[in-house]
Structure 1
Amino acid sequence: MHRLIALTLILGCLTATPVLAQDQQRIVALINDEVVSQRDLNERMRIIMATTRLPDNNPEILRAVREQALRSLVDDRLQMQEAKRRNINVSQQDVDAAIGAVERQMNIPPGRFDEFIRRGGIDPTAVAGQIRTELTWSRMVRARTSAQTSVTEQEIDEAVAKLRANVGQTEELISEILVPVDSPDQEEPQRQLAQRIIEQLRGGANFPALARQFSRGTTAVNGGDVGWVQRGTLNEEIEAAIAKLDKGQLSEPIRTVGGWQIVALRDRRRISLPGIEENRVTLKQLLIPLAAEAPQAEADAAIAKARQARGEIRTCDDVEPVAGRYDAPGSGSLGTLRMGDLPESFRQAVAPLDINQTSEPVRATRAVHIFTLCGRQEASGLNRNEVRQNILSRRAELMAQRYIRELRRDATIEFR
């Protein structure tokens, strides 16, 4: 109880007493013989409280903040020790650019970050130190990923094919906070912490700030930004929760392998390839006429007929002969067209096709169409180097998780 009262005074930025000043010299942890002092811990707690705007009068929140602050300090020490061993550094210019990004995330006027931090009773150099550690760690992970992995042209081809295959499907833009559970006794306290974080977010707290301080996930350094994700790429519990959300909503705590996860749905859209509207495609079509007000039975029959014809088309050269057998006037070459000029339903049908592949039937106002792709001219929007970088980024996330586990495993950590 006395410790919680002291922490409340510290976080309230009241004048420190001589006893508190003396307490600040106390060692709270040794990380490979490197000291973490009470002052370091207090400063990190101030950072968390100021950047997340969590209330400083709740003992349970303060206890969770202390645990998170100590955990992050341990990881920071391990990461910077490894950076020193590997002779990896970041420049002051890099740190300044990152501070500018934080200002934008938190709606702080440019150049006013130090002033904002000082209002919370925080030493700006402590914040800059934390940001420097995040940047250094990111650089180390990238370097290790580049050294240990390479992306083949076949992998890029497979990724591009998957992008095309997913055109027209739904994807979501999400952010996440992972509240870790490292032992069974943390299960309920960490669930309660996740619930309180959700309450703070719904009350207007800044998501990126909370993610930076509380999330154990690899996206924490980016404010919890996961980016656009496709259906089927996340675990079932998370996908089920996201499916129930509307744009701008938060999930309840979701139990995953690593702990309790919070997901924010920022946007939802249909998948399209970058720059797909500027791509040019050479097409042939087979067209089954259909009356504008045709009953559903006639439409179904036309679709079945088109699907049967599709099964007989192996290459573009087959389209006209097959159209003749199916009495399909108006079929044949459409020439080379800009994808952006096609109706949306046609574009979705054509986009995932490979050369000489034929689409599923598409019903229009007066016909059922199937399209055979005879050629494609890619615009500059689908950049193979960008695809390569996305593959490397996903690998870097997995590498970061393994890397910090290795550092913790090999370290000598003593708490006092």
Structure 2
Amino acid sequence: MRLSLSITGSALALVVALGSVSCPSAARAQRHHHMHEQQTTDTSGAAGDIDDTASHSKPAGKKAAPKLGETQDTIIAVINGIPLTRRDVDNRGRLFALSTGLPMSEDLMSRMRPQIIRQLIDERLRTQEILNRHINVSPEQIAAAIDGIEKRNGMPEHALRDRLAQDGVSLTTLIDQIRVQIGWTQVLRQELGSRYRMTSQEISQRTEALQKQEGRPEYFISEIFVPVEDARHSDTELKFTETIIQELRKGAPFSIVAAQFSQAQSALDGGSMGWVQEDSLDPEVVAMARKMPEGAISNPIKVAGGYVIATVLGKRVIGHQPGTLMNVRQAFIPFAEHLNPQNPTPQQRQALQTAVQIAQQSHSCDDLAAANKKLGEVRPSNPGELQLERLNPQMQQVLGTLPLGKTTRPLVSEDGIALLMVCSKTTKNFANRTPSEIADQLLNERVEQTARQLDRDLHRRAVIDMRSKT
């Protein structure tokens, strides 16, 4: 069972921090993902207070998590006078295992450890830059991020601490990662200054460029970027990249792995680059994207500065992508425990009866939204506009033929029962981009360039004493 530990959802964290540029395409992608994952299992745990301290206690009856390193206090590296220990590295490995639902064996950890060390060194440098700029990440910001994680996983308030402790993960490990992510977006905001605002001339120039490319392919692509420090000796990074690909192909969620390990700024958006034209990608990535089926995980792609793992979630021709946009309402009745189809509990049987009653009594989208509100609105009544073609095949079949104003049959999953109703349908050419969407793409490109340059500068100025690579 996995936990979604991404703190930024689908909206680019920098855009959220700036508060001036909307990201509608990314928001729609997140809502599509939520509908696509209708069958995904949520996780819950016992309530407990959350503070900015490590939690190492184990609940009664739980076996303590085995140590992944022999000496937890061994110093791996000293970064500008700040030590990085084996415990720091192993805790991050356990956090990865918890967020992906994959078992963390000593063999897997040994293959991942060098890259985790590099990532933590990068985070230490970023943390020092955040402090040097006197940027303060408040406890309220961290608490809000943790609250968001709990809500996305259907956990009671303050339950995350106990869940982390059960899996042998220090709460401080997650808090440190959240603090760096939030603080780094503020650093980039300072670096960009007035350059984060796209001028009407820049938007017009990009619009004209897209019009000239009409008829050419573009890709909805996500990436994981693994930087290579020394191009002459890239065996360690290649080995790590191959390990990550193996775990992705076993079922590790791409967006979570990207958020944990990608060193591209798109990691803040779960690796998503959105719709990208071929001339905005490395030639090696373009060659792979042309051949890849949608949803596949690429082999390691060697690019300037490192390796890329890519997945293509959609392909279209610039200027041509007709589709159906739907306005939907939903009601959700949660189960008190996960469903065993062969032995449903009395509460689950009652939930089904309630769902049938709601379906019979709901004759409009307002009726269904009101019913969901009475149920506590565990899931939002309005999941936002959905593109029919981007839903999974089962959901396309359910909603594609559903008359307006009619509820679906009860849709039963492990964690509850959903009812959906389509309020309206419109046909749209999704290849036509709004000025705000073009501004988002321009900003993303500018942020990525700024982030990579600043990371290089921090490394160049740093004094890093490597004590051990394992």
Scaled to the shorter chain, the TM-score interval is 0.5 to 0.7
- TM-score, length-scaled by structure 1: 0.62
Higher gyration radius (CA): 1
2: CA distance between counterparts of 1:32 and 1:44? 21
Q: CA deviation at 1:407?
A: 0.8
- Residues 182-193 of structure 1: matches in 2 within 5 Å? 182-184=229-231, 186-193=233-240
* 1:397 counterpart = 2:397: no
Q: Which has the higher contact order (CA 8 A, sep 6+)?
A: 2
Deviations 1:191-235 (A, max 9, x none): 333223222212111112222233222222322111111233212
Aligned partners of 2:79 and 2:125 also within 8 Å? yes
Match of 1:195 among 218, 242, 248: 242
Deviation of the 1:122 alpha carbon: 0.3
Q: Is the 8 A contact 1:251 1:262 kept in 2?
A: yes
Query: Deviation at 1:408?
Result: 1.1
1:239-318 aligned within 5 A: 239-272=286-319
Q: Give the TM-score of the pair, scaled to structure 2.
A: 0.56
Deviations 1:104-136 (A, max 9, x none): 8xx733455445433321012320221110121
Note closer, same or farther for the CA distance 1:116–1:224 as it changes in structure 2 (3 Å cut): farther
Letter in 2 for 1:387: I
C-alpha change, 1:39 and 1:197, in structure 2 (3 Å) is closer
Q: What is the CA deviation profile of residues 14-36 of structure 1, one whole-angstrom value per residue up to 9, with x for unaligned ones? A: 3669x96xx43333222211222
Number of residue pairs the alignment of both structures matches: 296
Cα offset, 1:102, TM superposition: 5.4
* SS at structure 2 position matched to 1:49: helix
Residue 92 of structure 2 corresponds to residue 51 of structure 1: no
Residue equivalent to 1:14: 65
Pair 198,401 (structure 1): closer, same or farther in 2 beyond 3 Å: same
- Mapping for residues 12-411 of structure 1, pairs under 5 Å: 14=65, 23-57=71-105, 59=107, 61-99=108-146, 108-111=153-156, 113-147=160-194, 151-184=198-231, 186-272=233-319, 384-411=435-462
- Deviation string 1:229-286 (CA, Å, 9 cap, x unpaired) is 1233212211111111122112221111122211101122344499999xxxxxxxxx
* Counterpart amino acid of residue 83 in structure 1: I
Distance 1:241 1:153, change over 3 A: same
Q: Distance in 2 between matches of 1:129 and 1:198?
A: 26
Q: Report if aligned partners of 1:219, 1:226 keep a CA contact under 8 Å in 2.
A: yes
In structure 2, the gaps of 5 or more residues are 1-62, 325-431
Q: Partners of 1:250 and 1:176 in 2: how far apart?
A: 10
% identity of equivalent residues: 31
Q: Is the CA contact (8 Å cut-off) linking 1:177 and 1:224 kept in structure 2?
A: yes
Question: For 2:154 and 2:128, how far apart are their aligned partners in 1?
Answer: 34
Higher helix share: 1
Is the Cα–Cα contact under 8 Å of residues 112 and 240 in structure 2 kept in the other structure? Answer: no
Answer whether contact 1:176 1:262 (CA < 8 A) is retained.
yes
User: What 5-or-longer segments of structure 1 have no aligned partner?
Assistant: 1-11, 278-380
Distance 1:266 1:118 in 2: 35
- How many angstroms apart in 2 are the aligned matches of 1:62 and 1:212? 18
CA contact (8 A) 1:48 1:65 kept: no
How far, CA to CA, are the matches of 1:118 and 1:205 in structure 2? 22
- Structure 2: how far apart are the matches of 1:92 and 1:224? 26
Q: What's the CA shift for 1:406?
A: 0.6
CA–CA distance in structure 1, aligned partners of residues 229 and 458 of structure 2: 16
Give the secondary structure class of the aligned counterpart of 1:232. Answer: helix
Counterpart secondary structure, 1:226 = strand
